[in-house]
Amino acid sequence: MSFEIIAATEKDCGEILRFINELAEYEKMSDEVVATEELLREWIFEKQKAEVIFAVEDGRKVGFALYFHNFSTFLGRAGIYLEDLYVMPEFRGKGYGKALLKELARIALNRGCGRLEWACLDWNKPSIDFYLSLGAKPMDIWTTYRLTGETLVKMAE
């Protein structure tokens, strides 16, 4: 059995969308997904607003991580923010999630970034336990606020 991590290219948008939908289903948020292959092609590969790596077992893509650069004003430098991390259920427990995270930690250090961050749903105890075991620190004194759709349009007026 072989395992490797590879960077996604423009021809992978269908696979990326499949993983996004599978993760949304696990998160019980499928009704929020409006992404399409076309949008992913435009925003990831043309406008370069995110990057994607795949976990590949014996030539088959079994998981992915989508990430982008965030920025810490305290550190005065960029970080890496992991937006989605997903491994197909039948391939879990083999270390692929951790391998994807390790690769992101390497990318962060290679680029001189100061942090690797991501968000986790508060009910997702298996993932939280996994993250804590890696030494990740919960930033639980902060809450994220969001304007979207009508409230965003109203704010711009």
Ranges within 114-133 binding a second copy (CB under 8 A): 114-123, 128, 131
Residue 66 binding a second copy, by CB under 8 A = yes
What span, in angstroms and rounded, lies between the C-alpha atoms of 9 and 7? 7
Tokens of 145: 């606020």
Q: Which of 55, 101, 54, 96 is nearest to 80 (CA)?
A: 101
Q: Which of 80, 50, 92, 84 is nearest to 65 (CA)?
A: 84
Whose Cβ is closer to a second copy: residue 56's or residue 78's?
78
Residue 90 binding a second copy, by CB under 8 A = no
Q: Binding residue for a second copy (CB under 8 A) from 36, 60, 95, 125?
A: 36
What span, in angstroms and rounded, lies between the C-alpha atoms of 127 and 131? 6
What span, in angstroms and rounded, lies between the C-alpha atoms of 56 and 61? 4
Q: Binding residue for a second copy (CB under 8 A) from 4, 10, 25, 42?
A: 42
Q: Is 131 annotated in the active site?
A: yes
What span, in angstroms and rounded, lies between the C-alpha atoms of 54 and 71? 24
Whose Cβ is closer to a second copy: residue 37's or residue 57's?
37
Q: Binding residue for a second copy (CB under 8 A) from 74, 89, 93, 129?
A: 74
Distances from the Cα of 129 to the Cα of 4, 122, 124, 141, angstroms = 25, 11, 9, 19
Residue 32 binding a second copy, by CB under 8 A = yes
Residue 88 binding a second copy, by CB under 8 A = no
Residue 140 binding a second copy, by CB under 8 A = yes
Q: Quick one: which segment of 1-9, 53-61, 89-97, 143-151 binds a second copy (CB under 8 A)?
A: 143-151
The catalytic site residues sit at: 131
